[in-house]
């Protein structure tokens, strides 16, 4: 099957990356094949190879594409932006669960692969800096408690959120998702100015 000309190179590339992330989440990196990705994206294997050269290139591109942070309006309050970011750690729909299954698989693989580890570390560090910046903005705006230390708070907050993702991936039940949402909302309430 070949891609439609209307999809364009970027559309094809995005479709292939989404398919690869879903398949990696479902079957692991070793269990995903280029042929499976092509079929899932509705393109030929040659098209996948054209865009990514090989399986390793596809995996590295998926890691680069797999941003953790949501797109949140910069006009939102800092507190609203933190809340939106934390909501991405609540696996209430299948696309989000599929994305996080990919991320968990990538994390396991990164423990053995220096290139993946470096890419994942860069994304995690960018997310930590983003949370630190949002907390700082929230303190300045009076939305968060003034005694908070943004630099000390960002990492444990993200560690909690990532830990809750692991819980939801391993126990994918509605009650687990609700407990994760409640825990993140409770953490945010603890940070808010009273």
Q: Is the dihedral of CA 132, 134, 140, 144 positive or negative?
A: negative
pLDDT given for residue 4 in this prediction: 42
The better pLDDT of the pair 6, 118 is held by: 118
pLDDT given for residue 58 in this prediction: 92
| Residues 6+ positions from 43 with CB-CB distance below 8 Å | 1, 2, 3, 12, 15, 16
Domain 5-65 superfamily per CATH = Homeodomain-like (1.10.10.60)
pTM over 0.75? The answer is yes
Beta strand residue intervals within 68-175, DSSP E: none
Q: Where are the domains of the chain?
A: 5-65, 78-191
What's the rounded Cα separation, in Å, for the pair 99 and 19?
Answer: 10
What's the rounded Cα separation, in Å, for the pair 25 and 114?
Answer: 20
The two tokens of residue 150 are 């943004």
What 26-33 contacts at long range (C-beta under 8 Å, 24+ apart), as own/partner pairs, is 26/98, 26/101, 28/105, 28/109, 29/59, 29/105, 29/106, 29/109
pLDDT given for residue 5 in this prediction: 38
pLDDT tens-digit readout, 119-144: 899 989 999 999 999 999 999 999 99
Tell me the pLDDT band of 68, cut-offs 50, 70 and 90. Answer: low
């Amino acid at each position: 099957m070949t891609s439609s000309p209307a999809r364009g190179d970027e559309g094809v590339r995005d479709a292939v990356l989404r398919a690869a992330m879903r398949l990696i989440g479902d079957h692991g990196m070793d269990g995903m094949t280029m042929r499976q990705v092509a079929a899932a994206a509705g393109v030929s294997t040659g098209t996948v190879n054209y865009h990514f050269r090989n399986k390793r290139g596809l995996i590295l591109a998926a890691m680069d594409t797999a941003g953790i942070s949501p797109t949140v309006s910069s006009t939102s309050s800092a507190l609203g932006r933190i809340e939106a970011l934390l909501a991405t750690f609540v696996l209430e729909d299948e696309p989000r669960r599929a994305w996080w299954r990919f991320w968990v698989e990538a994390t396991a693989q990164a423990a053995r692969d220096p290139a993946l580890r470096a890419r994942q570390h860069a994304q995690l560090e960018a997310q930590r800096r983003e949370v630190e910046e949002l907390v700082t903005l929230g303190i300045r705006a009076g939305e968060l408690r003034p005694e908070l230390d943004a630099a000390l708070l960002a990492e444990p907050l993200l560690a909690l959120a990532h830990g809750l993702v692991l819980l939801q991936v391993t126990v994918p039940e509605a009650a687990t998702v609700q407990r994760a949402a409640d825990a993140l909302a409770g953490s945010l309430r603890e940070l808010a100015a009273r």
